[in-house]
């Protein structure tokens, strides 16, 4: 009995210090105001890592990374176990071909295949990165060589989804497993399109001038949430078209929109100014979490915010001093993954973090 008593006391001590370890890790990786985050874990520890998305069963994450320590100087796609926090000392499994530039990966139903956009058909080399600023304004490249592909988990491409001239990327999959939404310039402007899982029945969803992108389905599969620029003045329209002709967009003025999956009932959700982007539906479908720098006049920081789907009750979620973005809830709604500049030693490295979501 004495041995049993000592064992129990030892177990209590171990559990006590385990909790303290979790608390210490939380205190190092999250800010005191971040009440929705608990048990936060850092997944990557170097390079530029972003757009981490869950498998349908929440057991894996797929993300894009540029990491010279992994032998890559151009964005490639990787898969990890969502409970594996060992990437400080190891290299994850690369799912893309290792040529060209890749972006916007996502699991397909069944978790045995994934889709992502790649430039590899045009050139095996990493495409030229334009200057980040044109006439003093920050810009994103829209590579016309991007097409969307389906790969198995061993990295074998099994199907090409798009084959149109110009940019096709930013594809995500409905939680219902029946549709894909993506951004394409095939109409001459950057619009949203949907198609069936096999790439058939391509349907244009948006049709107003401006960049529509980064779309995600609601959990019930009935709606879309996305970021959009809507140039209105003659000067804004001219600037937008001129940049688009150069394969560029200016993402510094974007707001969050929703619509039905067929494009009807289009609504502007935010009207905050600056850049509001990377939206994702809350597990209840009654709120939207997104990234924004609307509270600053100098461009940074970007932090996570949440807002009701009617545009009310804006609430700040994260409080980093530089950059938090790409928030994505797990399918069971219990966790959130996001990218951040926190804990990077003052470098420009962006890493992936997972936390329990507590309400």
Give mean pLDDT, residues 214-241: 96
Concatenating the DSSP letter of every residue in 138-166 gives E-EE--TT-EEEEEETTS-EEEE----SS
pLDDT in tens, 50-70: 999 999 999 999 999 999 999
pLDDT in tens, 66-98: 999 999 999 999 999 998 777 888 899 999 999
Pick from 311, 126, 295, 196: nearest CA to 303: 295
Measured CA to CA in angstroms, residue 299 lies from 179, 292, 303, 323 at distances of 35, 10, 11, 10
Q: Residue 243 belongs to what H/E stretch?
A: helix 234-245
Query: Over the chain, what is the mean pLDDT?
Result: 91
The structural architecture, per CATH, of the domain 37-357 is 6 Propeller (2.120)
Give mean pLDDT, residues 173-196: 97
Cβ-Cβ contacts under 8 Å for 238 (sequence gap 6 or more): none
pLDDT of 6 higher than 90: no
Q: With left for phi above 0 and alpha for psi between -120 and 50, is residue 80 left, alpha or beta?
A: beta
Burial class, 155, CB count within 10 angstroms (exposed 0-12 / middle 13-18 / buried 19+): middle
DSSP structure class, residue 79: E
End-to-end CA distance of the chain: give it in Å, rounded. Answer: 42
The answer to whether the CB of 319 falls within 8 A of the CB of 4 is: no
Pick from 356, 352, 134: nearest CA to 249: 134
The answer to whether the CB of 258 falls within 8 A of the CB of 270 is: no
Residue with tokens 């709606």: 223
Pick from 65, 60, 59, 97: nearest CA to 78: 65
Percentage of the chain modeled with pLDDT above 70: 92
pLDDT for residue 133: 73
pLDDT for residue 58: 97
User: Which of 81-90, 147-156, 268-277, 279-288 is the least confident region?
Assistant: 81-90
pLDDT of 250 higher than 50: yes
pLDDT for residue 25: 61
Give mean pLDDT, residues 37-47: 94
Across the beta sheet with 179-184, the strand order is 168-173, 179-184, 191-196, 203-204
pLDDT for residue 86: 74
User: Which of 2-11, 98-107, 111-120, 153-162 is the least confident region?
Assistant: 2-11
Across the beta sheet with 267-268, the strand order is 212-217, 223-228, 255-260, 267-268
Pick from 20, 80, 95, 74: nearest CA to 45: 80
Burial class, 16, CB count within 10 angstroms (exposed 0-12 / middle 13-18 / buried 19+): exposed
Give mean pLDDT, residues 242-246: 94
pLDDT in tens, 91-150: 999 999 999 999 999 999 999 999 999 999 998 999 988 777 767 678 999 999 999 999
The pair of structure tokens assigned to 333 is 């709604």
Give the whole-angstrom CA distance, residue 149 versus residue 151.
Answer: 7
If pLDDT is split at 50, 70 and 90, which confidence band does 170 have?
very high
pLDDT of 19 higher than 70: no
């Amino acid at each position: 009995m004495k041995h049993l008593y000592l064992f129990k006391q030892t177990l209590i001590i171990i559990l006590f210090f385990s909790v303290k370890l979790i608390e210490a890790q939380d205190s190092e990786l999250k800010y005191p105001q971040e009440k929705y985050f608990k048990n936060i874990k850092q997944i990557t520890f170097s390079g530029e890592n972003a757009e981490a998305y869950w498998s349908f069963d929440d057991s894996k994450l797929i993300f894009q990374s540029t990491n010279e320590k992994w032998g890559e100087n151009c964005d490639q796609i990787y898969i990890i176990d969502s409970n594996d926090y060992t990437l400080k000392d190891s290299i994850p499994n690369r799912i893309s071909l290792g040529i060209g530039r890749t972006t916007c990966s996502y699991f397909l139903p069944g978790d045995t295949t994934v889709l992502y956009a790649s430039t590899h058909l045009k050139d095996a080399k990493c495409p030229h990165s334009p200057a980040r600023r044109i006439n003093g304004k920050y810009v994103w490249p829209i590579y016309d060589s991007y097409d969307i592909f389906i790969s198995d988990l061993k990295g074998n491409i099994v199907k090409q989804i798009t084959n149109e001239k110009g940019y096709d990327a930013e594809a995500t999959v409905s939680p219902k497993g029946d549709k894909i939404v993506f951004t394409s310039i095939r109409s001459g402007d950057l619009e949203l399109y949907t198609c069936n899982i096999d790439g058939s029945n391509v349907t244009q969803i948006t049709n107003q001038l401006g960049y529509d992108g980064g779309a995600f389905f609601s959990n019930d599969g009935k709606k879309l949430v996305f970021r959009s620029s809507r140039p209105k003045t003659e000067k804004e329209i001219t600037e937008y078209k001129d940049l688009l002709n150069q394969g560029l967009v200016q993402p510094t003025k974007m707001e969050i929109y929703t619509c039905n999956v067929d494009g009807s009932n289009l609504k502007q959700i935010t009207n905050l100014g600056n850049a509001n982007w990377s939206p994702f539906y809350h597990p209840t479908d009654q709120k939207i979490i997104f990234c924004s720098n609307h509270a600053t006049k100098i461009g940074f920081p970007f932090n996570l915010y949440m807002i009701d789907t009617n545009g009310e009750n804006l609430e700040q979620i994260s409080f980093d001093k530089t950059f938090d973005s790409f928030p994505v809830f797990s399918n069971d709604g219990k966790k959130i993954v996001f990218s951040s500049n926190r804990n990077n030693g003052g470098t420009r490295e962006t890493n992936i973090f997972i936390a329990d979501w507590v309400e």
